[in-house]
Structure 1
Amino acid sequence: MTAVRPTPRVIAVIDRILATLAWTCQAGAALLYLAVTFQSDVWRDNFSKSPMPSLSAWGFSIGMTLLWMTALREEQVHLYNRRTRTAQRKTRIIGHFSVLLIASVSAIDQEDRIGMWVLMGMCVVLSTGTWNAWLRTRMLPDEDQAVIDAIHDREAQQAAAAFDASEKEQRRQRLSAIVSSLGYELAETQTPAVQPADTNHADWAVPSGKHAPLVYFIRNGNRIKIGTSTELKRRIRTLALRAENVALLLKGDRRLEHQLHKQFADLRIGNTEWFAYESPLTDYIADQNRRARKEQAK
């Protein structure tokens, strides 16, 4: 019998149900912690004598709850940005356990404090488990996530380059103002940039349409993807890269690809086809490019 695959509409409904469950568990845990904190005699009895400890505890709980909820939302929005998602997850954990700590201290004066602590512990497990389980259902396969990582890395590099250019211009303007205050004028000299020869690079013509299997090395920042394709131009587009990013092309199929994956296994990033652009991989690419240039020169 052929297995029936769920339709996109059914998948969307299931995702919405899981999202509702995950958010409900988070909100329920937060409300329980806050209720325990605000109803505790630890803070209310001492409020008339010295309100500052009580106000500080309540204010801290509210503030950390807002931080916790904001981090949840940001983690959901930036699910496919590993760096941002990791930072928001850490923030979420800090906020969650900070509110839990105040609630645990507040439950000390209750007769059934052991039961309350057990209940709050169950809330931790349930809220964290449902949230992580829901996010896992939305995760991409490692190879697809590597494409998103490549895009975010490129955006980060572009933003860093723009920031450096802005900083350089601000320094030039500040220096020009100081020089002008001394009665001089800063000469507008431009030194032509000298582009060093890239001994690791060769110009590779990317074939159009279908072609014989090629093992490609395509670079994005400090990473290299080693893969096989019979439609390389199309594959480059799906990676959101350009033909100029191709560092090396070799005639071969998946057998050669797997051999290269084993050869550079120490540089492999997770279970993906991406590798750190470091030696000995850089040496291998440079050597292959030198051979290719020699062949072209004949």
Structure 2
Amino acid sequence: MTAIPRPTGNAARIVDRLLLAYTWFAQLVALFVYAVITAGSPIWARMWSDEPLNTTFLGVFAASIAPLWLISLREEQKSFYDRRAHRANQNMSVFAHLAVLFVAALSASTYPNRIGYWFALALFAFNAAATWRAWMRSRFLPAEDQAVIDALQAREDQKAAAIHDASQKELRRQRLSAVLESLGYQLTEPEPSTAPTVHDEPDVRWQIPARKHAPLVYFIRNGNRLKIGTTTDLKRRIRTLALRAENVALLLDGGQPRERELHKQFTDLRVGNTEWFAYEGALINFIADQNRIARKEEGQ
């Protein structure tokens, strides 16, 4: 007897689409309730007779903030795995929702049974917000998978920052050259030096353990930034950072106490409150010295 496999993949997609449809339905129902209560309020006629200009501005605001709420929700959904963009769109959607709700609550205050209208507004607002947050939480990735996306986006940000810095440097050079020419001088470029510097790449290729190991403090590069962290599974850590074994600049024995000591040692180069540091100066010299020591130990 042959068992028929269950269409778990198709079923999961169908359930996901149904939940998404219900989530958006809850938002549209809430918006419809807001619009009905707002449009049916007698406050608009009184305001129009007293201050037509202010009434027009308020009406335009109420009519424009509702599409902004829906657009922000859509952008929040699209940029969910981009944490910075998601946070910005989330803040905008919350602001727009509260603004629409405020206009509806203000309009409901003119009804004879305003308590009932306020209760209805609160009920639909809570249902819309809770449904949306519950569905968005269902999209969460495991922390290690999200870390891969964060690392890739951080790498793209660093590339964009490097391109911007290079373009700004070229613009400054051109402006300085123009100013010097107006004063009768000429800007000359220094000849590149062929002497080795401390910025040369270390020639030690660190071997990555294939399995879990004793705690190691790792120095791993990503462009002009370097991360100092500790792990007992270096191979997996490199993978979660979306980097390669070639990016490992230095390995030292030790766990969190050694890691904290190194963070304190290079605190001037630290990027915010992260474990990333600017790859320059004392940090380059430290890695070069440790690599020289490692080469000597290998030669003995």
TM category (shorter chain) comes to: 0.7 to 0.9
SS of residue matched to 1:109: coil
Q: Secondary structure at the match of 2:163?
A: helix
Post-superposition offset of 1:13 = 1.2
1:127 CA displacement:
0.9
| Structure 1 residue aligned with 2:162 | 161
Q: Report matched runs for 1:270-285 at 5 Å.
A: 276-277=275-276
In structure 2, the residue matched to 1:11 is 12
2:255 is aligned to 260
Q: Which moved more, 1:27-36 or 1:72-81?
A: 27-36
Cα deviation, residue 116, structure 1? 1.0
Number of residue pairs the alignment of both structures matches: 272
Instruction: Sort the Cα spacing of 1:222 and 1:45 in 2 relative to 1 into closer, same or farther, 3 A.
Output: farther
Matched position secondary structure for 2:129: helix
Cα pair distance change 1:292/1:186, threshold 3 Å: closer
Matched, 1:42 2:34: no
**Contact 1:202 / 1:247 at 8 angstroms: preserved in 2?**
no
Pick closer, same or farther for the CA change 1:71–1:265 going to 2, 3 Å: farther
Matched to 1:68, the amino acid is: W
SS in structure 1 opposite 2:141? coil
Q: CA separation in 2, counterparts of 1:151 and 1:10?
A: 31
CA change 1:196–1:14 in 2 (3 A) is farther
Q: Any conservation in 2 of the 1:34–1:61 contact (CA below 8 Å)?
A: no
- Deviation of 1:227 (Å): 4.2
Aligned-partner SS, 2:205 = coil
AA at the equivalent of 1:37: T
Shift of 1:235: 7.2
SS in 2 for 1:116: helix
Q: Deviations over 1:252-276 (max 9, x none)?
A: xxxxxxx936976999xxxxxxx72
Counterpart residue type for residue 119 of structure 1: A
Aligned counterparts of 1:192 and 1:122: Cα–Cα separation in 2: 71
2:55 matches 1:63: no
Cα gap change, 1:142/1:6 in structure 2, threshold over 3 Å: closer, same or farther? Answer: farther
- 2:108 matched to which residue of 1? 107
TM-score (normalised: structure 1)? 0.75
**Which TM-score applies when normalising by structure 2?**
0.74
Contact 1:43–1:53 under 8 Å retained in 2: no
Q: Structure 1: where are the runs of 5+ without partners?
A: 252-258, 268-274
Contact 1:29–1:123 (Cα < 8 Å) also in 2? yes
User: Match of 1:128, as an amino acid?
Assistant: A
Deviation at 1:202, TM superposition (A): 7.2
Aligned amino acid, residue 260 of structure 1:
G
Residues 60-88 of structure 1, C-alpha deviations (whole Å, 9 max, x = no match):
12222222222111111111111111111
Distance 1:26 1:81 in 2: 23
* 1:292 equivalent in structure 2: 294
Q: Give the drift of 1:239.
A: 4.2
Deviations 1:11-37 (A, max 9, x none): 211111111111111122222223222
1:203 Cα offset (Å):
2.8
Q: Separation in 2 of the partners of 1:164 and 1:145?
A: 28
Give the 3-state SS of the residue equivalent to 1:45 in structure 2.
Answer: helix
Q: 1:26 corresponds to which residue?
A: 27
CA apart distance, 1:97: 0.4
Q: Give the SS at the match of 2:47.
A: coil
Q: Deviations over 1:225-245 (max 9, x none)?
A: 644559x4x974664213332
Unmatched segments (≥5 aa) in structure 2? 264-273, 278-282
Whether 1:245 and 2:247 are equivalent positions in the alignment is yes
Query: For residue 93 of structure 2, what is the aligned residue in structure 1?
Result: 92
In the alignment, is residue 177 of structure 1 matched against residue 178 of structure 2?
A: yes
- Tell me if structure 1 keeps the 8 A contact 2:229–2:259: no
RMSD: 3.7
CA contact (8 A) 1:26 1:127 kept: yes
1:122-166 CA distance string (max 9 Å, x none): 122111111111111111011111111111111111111111111
Report the 3-state secondary structure (helix = DSSP H, G, I; strand = E; otherwise coil) of the residue aligned with 2:48.
Answer: coil
Looking at structure 2, the residues matched to 39 and 192 of structure 1 have their Cα atoms a distance apart, in angstroms, of: 78
Task: State the distance in 1 between where 2:107 and 2:197 align.
Answer: 66
